[in-house]
């Protein structure tokens, strides 16, 4: 079915114009099976908003938005998996007698393993290709999520690995050891999500649409973060905390079936008739000259690649590295420590935290989608793409300053604190939608996953530092009788990190400078 959209009449989520509710159900009705119907409905929703944002009137297919829908759902599952532990932390700390430092050790294993694995995940995905690489990633992280359910007891993972850890000088409680193993496996798998997703966006979207496509799939992080506090405490209360880990692990395998059924490279989908010539031409239109090197692939069909040492010679690599290093620790902190903050400051735990965190992460979706749209607004006014993106990122970097008021305003009530933290989290998602896109803007597609891996490694290591420092601060001030002082100190860092990151990035790459590197 080929549809013509007048984008001047298309509004967000397709409420008017080409993708009306009736048209979306027409698309669904034209699909062959239930899986295709689900993706057709969601991609129809995406198409209405994206066609409006790009400001182009054209007749073409929509399969690239089906791909965007797959990325969105994968990122949703990704964040469901990684957030279960933080939501259960008050319950698990009480059951196993953890200190703040014990919990920081567990989260740090995830972040450290994630940081190392994401570096190799990028290379792995560049080598084996997006389809197989993404499939392996979600299979591993789904197994890792399920492992958490088997960490305790005489025959559990903790009892099995604790003697080995003690032998190398890592003396931790059995429960901590078990959760460390689960977090390690989860991290190794989850490390593949963003390198694979960014690479997919580079393969399937023209440059003008990439930041918005990235913002949409990245909003899956917020959907996962919203669903987790609504579902996890409820499941844990009814069926025990082990069930929560098993359920999110199973969700990953459901997504895997969709991915294997619907994904392939644009060239192959064109040959199969899933992508029309008009849509393919639009996808490939602006690949030259930046992505010309991607055509130079080895004879065996593997992805072209470039060495890490070569990539580290470019200022663009270091700009992305430091942009992630200074800011990702903020997101990791909020993701892993907000339930602990609500318990320490307001005495809330279990199902009591469902709605505050659900509302908070719902608000962050605004940042994901609007952050992707924001630079396009500057581009329409005539700004060059990189200047528009950096201008948008500077404005975005101002919003986290609201976090400085969290403790002061929070004394008037929990919802004041939630709102201010939500502003900071929303700004982070807007920042992420743009900083990831700078990679596919400046590097050939064969290097995108590797560069994304390098930057994400930097962000994960900053998460380790922030988490360990936070745990030590909270234990110290808890002994002093006022743990809220520790949170105040961390909130200061969360507020100013983005401005620091922007200044470093701008000094390293003051203007658009695409990297022309030979892939081999």
Q: Which CATH number fits domain 60-508: 1.10.260.40, 3.40.50.11740, 1.20.1250.20, 3.30.465.10?
A: 1.20.1250.20
DSSP assigned state of 59? E
CA distance 513 to 501: 19
Question: Cβ distance 90 to 342 under 8 Å?
Answer: no
**Per residue in 324-338, pLDDT tens?**
999 999 998 998 889
**Per residue in 96-137, pLDDT tens?**
888 888 888 888 888 889 888 877 887 788 888 888 999 999
Whether the bond between 436 and the residue before it is cis, its omega within 30 degrees of 0, is: no
Mean pLDDT of the chain: 79
Confidence tier at 519 by pLDDT (50, 70, 90)? low
CA distance 117 to 191: 6
DSSP assigned state of 313? T
Question: Cβ distance 256 to 141 under 8 Å?
Answer: no
Nearest to 189 by CA among 38, 78, 312: 78
- pLDDT for residue 322: 96
Q: Which residue has the higher pLDDT, 58 or 187?
A: 187
* Paired tokens of 246: 């098993």
26-36 b/e (C-beta count within 10 Å ≥ 16 → b): ebbeeeeeeeb
Gap between the terminal Cα atoms of the chain: 40
User: What is the separation of C-alpha 215 from the centre of its chain, rounded to a whole number of angstroms?
Assistant: 10
CA distance 272 to 274: 6
DSSP assigned state of 274? S
- When pLDDT is averaged across residues 482-509 and rounded to a whole number, the result is 94
Residue with token string 């013509």: 4
**Per residue in 55-105, pLDDT tens?**
444 456 788 888 889 999 999 998 888 889 888 888 888 888 888 888 888
Cα-Cα-Cα-Cα dihedral sign, residues 6, 8, 375, 425: negative
Q: pTM, whole model, 2 decimals? A: 0.69
- pLDDT for residue 474: 92
């Amino acid at each position: 079915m080929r549809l013509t959209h007048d984008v001047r009449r298309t509004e967000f989520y397709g409420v008017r114009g080409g993708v009306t509710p009736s048209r979306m159900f027409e698309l669904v009705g034209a699909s062959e099976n239930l899986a295709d119907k689900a993706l057709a409905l969601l991609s129809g929703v995406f198409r209405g908003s994206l066609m409006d944002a790009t400001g182009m009137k054209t007749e073409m297919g929509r399969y690239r938005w089906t791909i965007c829908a797959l990325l969105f759902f994968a990122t949703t599952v990704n964040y469901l998996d990684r957030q279960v532990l933080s939501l259960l932390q008050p319950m698990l700390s009480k059951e196993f007698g953890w200190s703040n430092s014990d919990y920081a050790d567990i989260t740090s294993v995830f972040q450290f393993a994630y940081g190392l694995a994401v570096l190799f995940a990028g290379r792995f995905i560049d080598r084996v290709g997006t389809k197989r690489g993404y499939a392996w990633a979600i299979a591993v992280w789904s197994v890792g999520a399920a492992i958490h359910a088997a960490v305790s007891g005489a025959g559990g993972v903790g009892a099995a690995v604790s003697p080995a850890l003690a032998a190398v000088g890592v003396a931790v409680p059995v429960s901590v050891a078990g959760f460390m193993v689960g977090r390690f496996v989860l991290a190794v798998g989850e490390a593949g999500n963003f390198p694979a997703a960014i690479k997919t966006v580079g393969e399937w979207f023209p440059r003008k649409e990439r930041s918005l496509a990235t913002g949409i799939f990245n909003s899956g992080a917020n959907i996962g973060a919203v669903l987790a506090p609504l579902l996890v405490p409820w499941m844990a209360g009814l069926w025990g905390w082990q069930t929560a880990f098993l359920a999110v692990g199973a969700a990953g395998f459901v997504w895997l079936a969709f991915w294997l059924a619907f994904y392939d490279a644009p060239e192959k989908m064109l040959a199969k008739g899933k992508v029309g010539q008009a849509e393919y031409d639009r996808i490939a239109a602006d690949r030259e000259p930046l992505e010309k090197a991607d055509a130079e692939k080895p004879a065996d069909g593997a992805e072209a690649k470039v060495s890490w040492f070569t990539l580290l010679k470019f200022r663009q690599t270091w700009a992305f590295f430091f942009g992630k290093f200074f800011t990702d620790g903020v997101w990791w902190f909020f993701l892993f420590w907000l339930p602990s903050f609500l318990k320490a400051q307001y005495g809330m735990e279990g199902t009591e935290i469902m709605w505050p965190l659900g509302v908070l992460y719902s608000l962050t979706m605004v940042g994901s989608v609007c952050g992707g749209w924001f630079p396009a607004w500057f581009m329409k006014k005539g700004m060059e793409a990189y200047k528009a993106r950096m201008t948008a990122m500077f404005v975005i970097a101002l919003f986290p300053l609201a976090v400085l008021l969290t403790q002061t305003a929070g004394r008037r009530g929990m919802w004041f604190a939630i709102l201010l933290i939500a502003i900071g989290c929303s700004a982070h998602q807007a920042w992420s939608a743009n900083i990831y896109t700078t990679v596919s803007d400046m590097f050939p597609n064969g290097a995108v996953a590797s560069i994304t891996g390098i930057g994400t490694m930097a962000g994960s290591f900053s998460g380790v530092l922030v988490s360990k420092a936070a745990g030590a601060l909270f234990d110290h001030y808890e002994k002093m009788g006022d743990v809220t002082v520790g949170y105040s100190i961390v909130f200061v860092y969360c507020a100013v990190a983005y401005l620091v990151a922007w200044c470093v990035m701008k000094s390293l790459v003051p203007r658009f400078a695409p990297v022309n590197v030979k892939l081999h």
